[in-house]
Amino acid sequence: MVSPPGRAEAIRRAAELGARLGRAVRGVVRGKDAVVELALVALFTPGHLLLEDVPGVGKTTLATALARALGGAFRRVQFTSDLLPADILGVNVLDAAAPGGFRFRPGPIFAHVLLADELNRATPKTQSALLEAMSEGAVTVDGVRHPLPRPFVVLATRNPEDHHGTFPLPDSQLDRFLLHLSMGYPDREAERAVLRSGGLPRARFERVASPEELAEALGAVDLVAMHPDVEEAILELADRSRADARLVRGISTRAAGDLYRACRALALLRGRAHVIPEDLRELAVPVLAHRVLPRTEGDGPRAAARRAIRGILDEIPSPL
């Protein structure tokens, strides 16, 4: 049990780390403070982040800036239709000096941060190679399990599915992503600053932390107090989603658990030792909307899912 003074100090140090990372990323990604904060929530939960938007609005820049600011091992994989699972996971190669005559050569997934660029341009077989790694922090090649570095976070970008040459991500894979975010276009002044600085390709990335510091901060997330009323609201949200007429499939237990921890991470990043109802309200849509299946799509499945989650939130009584 951590003493109250020790608990407060651990939360303060973790919040300070989050502030440093946030400043470094915002120095590259202009005018997207809310998106940057949610990306940090993914890092501190920890969980995987899916960025979806049209090309050229800064998805890859955000992921790269976050990875570079954290330090540690960073790998970027450009996903294409001819990419194979072994290109990501690694392979066993002949080596007469190794036991059994084979030596495992790790792939780029053996990193603290993996940037999976344009994930939906790879075939379903290659996409599925990430499932075990994202769920368990390990990969299995030829029956041998290989643990990944800790922490391990996938930052994936995805082009909209109506773009030519893309493959849909299966529900089982979407459920592994803690957050699903869109960058959106920058406002006029932020875009002006990007143009004057030479554009996104000339961005300068700064390292301000280490994986060891993040690992310590993850322990502090567990020290953030969850109020029983907010916990009950998460359970109520999950329960109502499974019976809601707007949804064919509601919130899974994994999704509810991810929302629970993400609320603690957001509270910590804002320097609080306790979760408040506003944390849940801010995170419910980006954590849950990509994991539910709306009954009618109307102007698109994403919009319908977001409306359903917001509608259920509005129906839950106090504290929300």
More reliable by pLDDT, 28 or 236: 236
Contact status, residue 154 vs residue 110, Cβ threshold 8 Å: no
Judged against a pLDDT cut of 90, whether residue 248 lies above it is answered with yes
* Residue 267, in any domain of the structure: yes
* Residue 88, in any domain of the structure: no
Looking at the chain, how many residues does it have? 320
- DSSP letter (8 states) at residue 170: P
**How much is the average pLDDT of 268-284?**
95
* Residue 264, in any domain of the structure: yes
pLDDT digits (tens, 9 = 90+) for 166-218: 888 888 889 999 999 988 888 888 888 878 877 655 667 888 999 889 989 99
Q: Which CATH number characterizes residue 278's domain? A: 1.10.8.80
273: three-class secondary structure by DSSP: coil
239: three-class secondary structure by DSSP: helix
- DSSP letter (8 states) at residue 185: P
pLDDT at 61: 84
Judged against a pLDDT cut of 60, whether residue 297 lies above it is answered with yes
* Residue 87, in any domain of the structure: no
pLDDT at 314: 92
Enter the tokens of residue 112: 């603290």
More reliable by pLDDT, 67 or 310: 310
Enter the tokens of residue 308: 């359903």
Instruction: Write out the residue range of the structural domain in which residue 304 sits.
Output: 224-320
* Residue 280, in any domain of the structure: yes
* Residue 84, in any domain of the structure: no
Judged against a pLDDT cut of 60, whether residue 220 lies above it is answered with yes
Contact status, residue 261 vs residue 254, Cβ threshold 8 Å: no
pLDDT at 182: 87
pLDDT digits (tens, 9 = 90+) for 118-142: 999 999 889 988 888 998 999 999 8
* Residue 302, in any domain of the structure: yes
Give the model's confidence band at 162: pLDDT under 50 very low, under 70 low, under 90 confident, else very high.
low
- Alpha-helical (H) ranges within the chain are 4-26, 33-44, 59-70, 85-89, 124-128, 131-136, 171-174, 188-196, 211-221, 228-241, 253-269, 277-288, 301-315
* Residue 314, in any domain of the structure: yes
What percent of the chain is modeled with pLDDT above 90?
Answer: 53
Number of domains in the chain: 1
Instruction: For the chain, give the mean pLDDT.
Output: 88
pLDDT at 2: 61
**How much is the average pLDDT of 259-276?**
96
Alpha-carbon gap, residue 142 to 126, rounded angstroms: 16
> Tokens 């570079």 appear where?
68
**How much is the average pLDDT of 96-108?**
84
